[in-house]
A = this chain, B = another copy of it.
Amino acid sequence: MGAPGGICTIAVDAMGSDHGPTEFIRGLLYATEELELDCNFTLVGKGRLLERLLKVRKLHIDPARIQIHHASEVVTMQDKPIQALRKKKDSSMAQAIELLRDGKAQALVSCGNTGALMAGGTLRMRPLDGVDRPALGIIIPSKLKPFVLIDVGANPESTPLNLMQNAVLGANYAKAALGIEKPRVALLTIGTEEGKGNSLINATHAYLQTIHEKVIYYAGPIEGFQLFDGAVDVVVCDGFVGNIVLKSSEALFGFIGATMKEELVRNPKRILGAALSKSAFRDMKVRLSPDQHAGAPLLGLKGNILKSHGSSNYIAIANALRIAQELVKHDMIDSISSEINQANDLI
């Protein structure tokens, strides 16, 4: 899937971020200078604005590596998913998807409207042969090491086949993005005894046992209390459960942080203490932050589409670009295509 000479191109929907295109340009700078990405970039969005921003920033890389592709419209967070790309054909998101579809880019990164990106990406890029429903994977920090949670919202009504395919998609994502050779895959459930959980889980468990050691490495079911242990590399769930777990975890993290702040400024002694241990809170935030692994790919399509959080800062954006490059370099789509068919044949 790579472009000639091993160099690939990433299409960047530069308009979707909550922080505007400036943050994307900063992300690009960080990606090329600090993370040393060696791919090309096509920035999609308002041409003159992007040109001006690039001039101000002065990137120390070969100008030939950065193209600008003008798009006059922007998909907003208020736009309805399916209508958005139909009505806004000259939006940065729609145009970036076209670049991917036409083979002018090998991956796409966007911070824009998730629903529009998923709907547009699925309609234009189509699922790979054998893939029933695409799934959103995301990398989450844990006690030991980061892991992939899949699906976090693409498919809220899953069948056992969907969940089995999520396992294959997630394992391939862990290989490409985390560099794990044999990812251990677990199934998220309640009560890990045989027969607990529900009928969806029990049927999926049987499928995963069938493809174990043939396509993926199935470590068995895990419960919610084990989620942040880091004992496995991929945790499979349906998009309804995964989305709620992801978003409620983000909310809980914010709630704990806000409560801590309130308590730490309650009297002068606490304020002094907090000032002395300030660096600990900063380091903790870095360790628990998803910035290193930002960018959730919509897996199972005929193209690499990564969604980055609307509020992503430049480090998160740079890391999404880094992951996009990894997916291309690992030929993840080819690998998914072959393993999905192997898995389908086994069940």
| A-to-B contact residues, CB < 8 Å | 115, 142-143, 153, 156-157, 188-191, 196-199, 201, 223-229, 237, 239-241, 243-256, 258-260, 263-264, 266, 269-270, 272-281, 283-284, 287-288
Contact = CB atoms under 8 A, between A and B. Distances in A.
Interface hub of A156, A201, A237 (most chain B Cβ within 10 A): A156
A190 B276 contact: no
A202 to B, nearest CB: 10
Given A284-B259, A287-B259, A224 B246 contact: yes
27 contacts: A157-B199, A188-B244, A189-B244, A190-B247, A201-B240, A223-B244, A224-B243, A224-B244, A224-B247, A224-B251, A227-B247, A227-B248, A227-B252, A229-B251, A245-B248, A249-B249, A249-B252, A252-B253, A256-B256, A263-B280, A269-B279, A270-B276, A272-B273, A272-B277, A273-B274, A273-B278, A277-B277
B256 A253 contact: yes
A131 B237 CA distance: 29
Contacts of A188: 244
A269 B189 CA distance: 43
A281 B223 CA distance: 28
A250 B264 CA distance: 22
A288 B246 CA distance: 20
A245 B270 contact: no
A281 B263 contact: yes
B252 A115 contact: no
Given A251-B224, A280-B266, A288 B256 contact: yes
A269 B277 contact: yes
Contact of A227 (B240, B251, B256, B281): B251
A321 to B, nearest CB: 25
Given A157-B198, A274-B273, A274-B280, A224 B245 contact: yes
